[in-house]
């Protein structure tokens, strides 16, 4: 399989479990795992979903994947990293407890769970790159030490990166906490006091304790804020704004450089599957009732994360009949793809093979 090839498995309404079975059988039939060798330590990177979310890829799929890896005598493990925000995934203990509640147990899936960045998200490996922003990136240790990585993503919209797919799963999802901080440090929010209802939700999600209530209104201490954007995403009253200027682009370029660094650490031994099911406006970090922005569409897979993301976006937009910025967040959303091409990290031109 060359990097240009992106496999597309359309969802035919057969039910989720049947669809996951078809993906797993297709993976075997098409030799997606032929690049793996017996006894290699292979990470399976996914998102276990924040408390209250439902869009994450089902443990059932990973059970099927585990079975394929075991047949090949591959030593697979599920892996994730800590979040910056103070939800239920900011340290390994709470993160694993949540993953177990969502069904990602060894009994259920058959893969051990190993937090890639340690107990508190600070264990990383420095990977040199030649980017515009970075000469080196800080990648979660256990991802960098793996022999190969299978990146299983859930396509969503995203308030800062426009969309979340393979590149985001790599760049943000495989960065240590310091790496995540560095990517986010580009802009700061402002509270629109007329709209703020003083509900306090943003205080609970702010990873830095940068927000306090003054009277009935949120107030941000600018010297403490790291510009992570969690308050923007979590506020349901439209009371947080960002003076982004060019920072959507800068954030996404930094994210892309981090993703590039992960692929360099793994010397190209990666494979990507992105599910276009339960596509929501926000990513699986946001605890919101499931609300699809487009019908369930299936999955795309390939060896080039840029080709896979590009195909995923095109398919979603074709189905919706509108650009992603009209059905999710009105932000520039193809920067990851365009910048990756400029870096020589991947190619957005793909050959879609429908299976």
CA–CA gap between residue 261 and residue 129 (Å, rounded): 6
Which residue stretch of 45-53, 88-96, 234-242, 332-340 sits at the interface with ligand SF4 (rule: CB under 6 A)?
A: 234-242
Residue of 135, 133, 136, 154 lying closest to 144 (CA atoms): 136
Q: How far is the CB of 116 from ligand SF4 (least distance, A)?
A: 23
Q: Does 231 bind ligand SF4 (CB under 6 A)?
A: yes
Among residues 237 and 291, whose Cβ is nearest to ligand SF4? 237
Query: Exposure pattern of 90-126 as b/e (b: 16+ CB <10 Å)?
Result: bbbeebbebbbebbbeeeebbbebbbbbbeebebbbe
Among residues 8 and 205, whose Cβ is nearest to ligand SF4? 205
Q: How far is the CB of 313 from ligand SF4 (least distance, A)?
A: 26
Q: At what angle do helices 59-71 and 16-30 cross, to 10 degrees?
A: 30
CA distances from 314 to 185, 241, 319 (A): 30, 29, 9
Site for ligand SF4 in 166-225 (CB under 6 A): 189, 191, 196-202, 206-208, 210-211, 218, 220, 225
Among residues 170 and 225, whose Cβ is nearest to ligand SF4? 225
State which of residues 43, 55, 173, 229 lies at the interface with ligand SF4 (CB under 6 A). Answer: 229
- The residues pairing with 200 across neighbouring beta strands, listed in sequence order, are none
Among residues 50 and 309, whose Cβ is nearest to ligand SF4? 50
Query: Exposure pattern of 197-210 as b/e (b: 16+ CB <10 Å)?
Result: eebebbbebbbbeb
Radius of gyration for the alpha carbons in the chain, expressed in angstroms and rounded: 19
Q: At what angle do helices 335-343 and 305-320 cross, to 10 degrees?
A: 150
Among residues 128 and 209, whose Cβ is nearest to ligand SF4? 209
Among residues 131 and 189, whose Cβ is nearest to ligand SF4? 189
Among residues 159 and 299, whose Cβ is nearest to ligand SF4? 159
Q: How far is the CB of 184 from ligand SF4 (least distance, A)?
A: 7
Site for ligand SF4 in 29-58 (CB under 6 A): none
Q: How far is the CB of 331 from ligand SF4 (least distance, A)?
A: 15
Beta strands in the chain (DSSP E): 5-10, 41-45, 75-80, 113-115, 124-128, 136-140, 148-154, 156-158, 162-164, 189-191, 211-214, 217-220, 240-242, 270-276, 298-302, 351-354
**Are residues 149 and 266 in contact, defined by beta-carbon separation less than 8 angstroms?**
yes
Site for ligand SF4 in 240-269 (CB under 6 A): 240
How many amino acids of this chain bind ligand SF4 (CB under 6 A)?
Answer: 27
Which residue stretch of 55-63, 127-135, 235-243, 268-276 sits at the interface with ligand SF4 (rule: CB under 6 A)?
A: 235-243
Site for ligand SF4 in 144-163 (CB under 6 A): none
CA–CA gap between residue 16 and residue 248 (Å, rounded): 34
Q: Which residues bind ligand SF4 (CB under 6 A)?
A: 189, 191, 196-202, 206-208, 210-211, 218, 220, 225-231, 235, 237, 239-240
């Amino acid at each position: 399989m060359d990097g240009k090839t992106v496999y597309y498995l359309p969802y035919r309404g057969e039910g989720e479990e049947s669809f996951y079975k078809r993906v797993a059988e297709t993976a075997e039939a098409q030799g997606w795992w032929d690049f793996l060798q017996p006894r290699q330590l292979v990470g399976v990177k996914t998102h276990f979903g924040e408390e209250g979310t439902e869009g994450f890829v089902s443990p059932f799929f990973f059970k099927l994947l585990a079975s394929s890896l075991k047949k090949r005598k591959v030593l697979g493990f599920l892996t994730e990293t800590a979040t910056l925000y103070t939800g239920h995934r900011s340290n390994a203990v709470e993160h694993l407890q949540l993953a177990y509640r969502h069904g990602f147990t060894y009994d259920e899936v058959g893969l051990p769970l190993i937090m890639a960045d340690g107990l508190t998200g600070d264990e990383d490996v420095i990977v040199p790159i030649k980017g515009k922003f970075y000469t080196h990136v800080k990648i979660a240790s256990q991802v960098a030490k793996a022999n190969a990585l299978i990146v299983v993503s859930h396509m969503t919209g995203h308030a800062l990166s426009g969309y979340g797919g393979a590149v985001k799963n790599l760049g943000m999802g495989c960065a240590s906490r310091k790496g995540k901080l560095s990517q986010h440090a580009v802009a700061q929010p402002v509270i629109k006091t007329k709209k703020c209802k003083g509900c306090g939700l943003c205080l609970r999600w702010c990873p830095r304790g940068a927000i306090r209530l003054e009277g009935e209104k949120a107030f941000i201490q600018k010297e403490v804020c790291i510009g992570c954007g969690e308050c923007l995403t979590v506020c349901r009253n439209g009371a947080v704004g960002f003076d982004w200027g060019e920072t959507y682009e800068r954030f996404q370029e930094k994210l892309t450089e981090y993703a590039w660094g992960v692929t360099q650490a793994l010397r190209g031994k990666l494979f990507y599957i992105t599910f276009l099911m339960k596509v929501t406006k926000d990513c699986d970090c946001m605890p919101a009732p499931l609300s699809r922005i487009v019908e369930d569409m299936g999955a795309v897979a390939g060896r080039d994360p840029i080709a896979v993301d590009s195909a995923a976006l095109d398919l979603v937009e074709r189905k919706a009949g509108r650009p992603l910025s009209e059905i999710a967040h009105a932000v520039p959303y193809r920067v990851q793809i365009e910048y990756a091409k400029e870096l020589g990290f991947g190619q957005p031109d793909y050959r879609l093979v429908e299976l």
